[in-house]
Amino acid sequence: MGWPGLWKQVGGERGRRNVFETPAALASAGAELEEMLEADGGVALATIDWALASANGDIREDWLPPARELVAATMPPGALTVQAGCVLRQGELILEQDRWALRFAILPCVPAGLPAERRHALDLLAADAQSQFRMIRVGWAEQSDGAALVAVVDLTGAPYAELLFLTGLEGLTQAVARLVETADLLADATVPLRALEVCRV
């Protein structure tokens, strides 16, 4: 989950592949990859450089995250708050010298004693979400008090583009809104789920 950039694995066991997804509008309309590399592609070319560098877990040495004031001014009010039914989640904007990301805890802390079938169901939920939602990684983050199921859009190394940032933010909040109630139910061992007993995952 700490890998810089947008690379992620999608697909099932047999069709698993790595993808790097960005809004199509960042690319020059109708331009092929070779054309953008040959011309001064601006943000499009910088995005290609970012994708290639982050494929190896690297970021350019001269990269700096955007100013917090600039990013904050771009974000709509309440953009990092998601409510789905009675479940409320607060996201965070991470802006550090070597990191730029948006992060939500879908499940802030999963009990260590959670039954195996529920943990496996959460794994399947995370894998499916990662395949379905563009630009977003979903997975486990280890903490001192247990594991958290998190969703992240990692823009570390990216050129600043308002479209890129806002697309990632909107996609992330929509994904979290669709996942939190199901995840919350799966993580609550006090609520019997007959489906997990009948249909073993």
Domain ranges within the chain, ordered by starting residue: 8-198
Q: What is the pLDDT of residue 33?
A: 47
Residues in the chain: 201
Q: Is the pLDDT score of 14 beyond 60? A: yes
Given phi > 0 = left and psi -120 to 50 = alpha, else beta, which region is 187?
alpha
Residue 78 has which token pair? 């309440």
Residue 44 confidence class, pLDDT cut points 50, 70, 90: confident
Whose tokens are 């001014």? That residue is 73
Give the DSSP H or E segment for 139. Answer: strand 137-143
Q: Is the pLDDT score of 64 beyond 60? A: yes
Please give the Cα distance from 80 to 92 (Å, whole number). Answer: 7
CATH of domain 8-198: 3.30.1460.10
What are 45-62's pLDDT values in tens digits?
888 899 999 998 999 888
- Helix, coil or strand: residue 96: strand
Q: What is the pTM of this model?
A: 0.86
CB within 8 Å of 109: residues ≥ 6 apart: 143, 145, 146, 147, 148
Residue 90 has which token pair? 């607060």
With b for 16 or more beta-carbon neighbours within 10 A and e for fewer, the 57-75 pattern comes to: eebeeebebbeeeebeeee
Residue 12 confidence class, pLDDT cut points 50, 70, 90: confident
Residues 117-134: what's their mean pLDDT? Answer: 93
